[in-house]
Amino acid sequence: MSVRPIITAPDPRLKAVSEPVKTVDDEIRRLIDDMMDSMYAADGIGLAAIQIGVPKRILVMDIAQKDGANEPRVFINPQIVWASEETATFEEGCLSVPEIWDEVDRPARIKAEYLDRDGNKKLLEADGLLATCLQHEMDHLNGVLFIDHLSKLKRSMAIKKLTKAKKLKEAG
């Protein structure tokens, strides 16, 4: 288990569509462990494999971490099978879009199918922060960042800020 660097926008790898996991094996479980370590080290509540440069359809989350608890969750090949017409608005941020926070509207409730860490098929009904976080992370699997849900002006401002921050960091 190790902490891996998290890719930040505007890195083009974040726009890649991730590939489904064919077999849940020890290699995939090692990747999941690295993802968890990386998410916790960055003080995040969710992470998609693509965010550490691995284009596989895997997510890890721990929304309880915000309250000082640990309830790690793993979602392999997740799919939303139902979404409510009712929406909910949450202020979102992202480990791959540092220092940027904005409100995003998403379906308030969803049902998702996925495989767990052992390859067992699961169905989850979610609302609130869990539903929002799951949809946010699933967007990553399709090359979508939360800023892609913002107005053109807000997205443009966010990308300029990220590009400037990256140049300053590289200039060191």
Please identify which of the residues 91, 125, 137, 170 carries the catalytic annotation: 137
What is the β-pairing status of strands 73-83 and 87-94? Answer: unpaired
Say whether 137 is catalytic: yes
Widest distance between CA atoms in the chain: 47
Cα-based angle 45, 125, 54 (whole degrees, multiple of 5):
45
Q: Which residues contact 8 (CB under 8 A, 6 or more apart)?
A: 95, 96, 97, 98, 162, 166
Helix ranges restricted to H, 6-114: 26-41
Catalytic (active-site) positions: 137
